Amino acid sequence: MVGGGGETQIDNGGGGGIQIQERRRLPLPDFLQSVNLKYVKLGYHYLMTHLLTLCLIPLIFISLIEASQMNPEDVHQLWVHLQYNLVSVITCSAVLVFGSTVYIMTRPRPIYLVDYSCYRPPEHLQVKYQQFMEHSRLTGDFDESSLEFQRKILERAGLGEETYLPEAMHSIPPKPSMAAAREEAEQVMFGALDSLFKNTGIKPKDIGVLVVNCSLFNPTPSLSAMIVNKYKLRGNIRSFNLGGMGCSAGVIAIDLARDMLQVHRNTYAVVVSTENITQNWYFGNKKSMLIPNCLFRMGCSAVLLSNKSVDKRRAKYKLVHVVRTHRGSDGKAFNCVYQEQDDAGKVGVSLSKDLMAIAGGALKTNITTLGPLVLPISEQLLFFSTLVMKKLFNDKVKPYIPDFKLAFDHFCIHAGGRAVIDELEKNLQLLPLHVEASRMTLHRFGNTSSSSIWYELAYIEARGRMRKGNRVWQIAFGSGFKCNSAVWEALRNVKQSPKGPWEDCVDRQKN
């Protein structure tokens, strides 16, 4: 989980009191001005793993040019020469066949995103600012300072008046229970999956791999088992349930599904990403643990992946890259998003005041690894040459800032809060259009955790902006601390799927 509270800053001062300041003291660092060389090397390592393929392409091209310039006499002389060098011909043929076989057997299979769906809760579960504050007051669990803190977070976090909370949180007093949490999980997961199966025509029995991620609610039987039971999935399905991995777990789940599809041929994988609100509402007065109450809302996404070549014709996207960064070895990063009990014994998730700086460090690592994979050669050469000059000759040389707008057409930045989106827009030098999907998702649906990047992609589709060949960069942050990226390429001009989350509100949201 990760969130940002707009302009609000938490200050755990020495006196034990927590104050709200109007300015952030620790914004996202200007990470593009301080690049660590070892992560650039890691990115170039990824590039070099495909060096053989890159070298073979120009050799084949040159050979074709030479062959096109040969006349019949040249062909006859070549045939006579080969007749007297039978051993060489057999050896070369054997090497060629062996090399082709190894390449075909070891090359990664393309992974296609056939379709996906995002759950949209019923209208009666919407929560307006006034309703949120009134219910918080009526619970009797929050003192005046905490109520005022929540009011300021709501005003500045970027959420609108139409976000959703589960049924149990609309009761006065709220009724969080295991049964209610299960009902919420079933509502969002089954709602997303029903839509996915209807839109794609895929039968549940055709699913070979199932990956479910939910950070804070992990009952027994698991959420993945709930889906298997509901849809009567086949007995040999490879099912996984990822817990405690925060808002970036959606990309982790995609990575796991991709690895499984590399092993198991001719099958489908479904990835379900959600978070559970019902049993994870904080009823205490510790300010750093109140922020998730104000930011997180109901949501779920279900994604259908395929390794079948026949699905390329109808698929929306092809998975190009997944780059994962984990900073858990650093103590501050590990503790910056932490589930714990407060002094009164009430459980909640605490967000550190260092969260933005730690997120910036994780993102710096991630993009310097991703850069060599996606940036044009011209950008890579400029970036690498200025970096070498800075390291070897003059420390005052300002490193070249790569223009990621040359590598990507669309950006899906995790809607963790307005501050997160603002800082990434500034540091990546993006245009307002590039972060529009993130802002609109935060405003309309709130922080839906790991599923937020799919609501953002659905917004881009609903706007009619996704064209064939466009590349999409999904960026997600999560506890641990992690920053993960997924890159997709559109295989056609993509339109929004029926019954999408933005179907009847995208124009109203923009205006």
Instruction: Copy the structure tokens of residue 488.
Output: 């997709």
* Closest to 441 (Cα-Cα) out of 428, 468, 459: 459
Map residue 464 onto helix, strand or coil: coil
Choose the catalytic residue: 241, 285, 410, 484: 410
Question: Are the beta carbons of 160 and 176 closer than 8 angstroms?
Answer: no
Residue 434 is a catalytic residue: no
Angstrom distance (rounded) from CA 431 to CA 435: 7
Report the b/e string of 482-492 with b at 16+ CB within 10 A.
bbbbbbbbbbe
Query: CA gyration radius for the chain?
Result: 26
Choose the catalytic residue: 213, 414, 427, 434: 414
Rounded to the nearest angstrom, the gap between the alpha carbon of residue 491 and the centroid of all alpha carbons in its chain is 19
**The residue type at 349:** V
| 211 strand-pairing partners | 240, 271
Tell me which H or E stretch contains 136: helix 129-139
Cis preceding linkage at 173, omega within 30: yes
Strand residue runs (E) in 243-316: 268-274, 300-306
Angstrom distance (rounded) from CA 227 to CA 156: 37
Angstrom distance (rounded) from CA 399 to CA 407: 19
Backbone φ/ψ region at 417: left (φ over 0), alpha (ψ -120 to 50), beta: left
Choose the catalytic residue: 427, 447, 470, 484: 447
* Triad 479, 481, 487: Cα angle to 5°: 95
* Closest to 213 (Cα-Cα) out of 174, 256, 243, 171: 243
* Closest to 414 (Cα-Cα) out of 158, 191, 181: 158
Choose the catalytic residue: 118, 214, 241, 247: 247
Residue 410 is a catalytic residue: yes
Give residues with Cβ within 8 angstroms of 189, minimum separation 6. Answer: 119, 212, 223, 226, 227, 272, 274, 300, 302
Residue 71 is a catalytic residue: no
Residue 81 is a catalytic residue: no
Residue 447 is a catalytic residue: yes
Choose the catalytic residue: 326, 336, 434, 484: 326
Residue 135 is a catalytic residue: no
Measured over the CA atoms of residue 99, residue 100, residue 106 and residue 107, the dihedral's sign is positive
Question: Are the beta carbons of 347 and 278 closer than 8 angstroms?
Answer: no
Choose the catalytic residue: 214, 285, 293, 443: 443
Instruction: Copy the structure tokens of residue 450.
Output: 């790991």
Residues annotated as catalytic are 247, 326, 410, 414, 443, 447
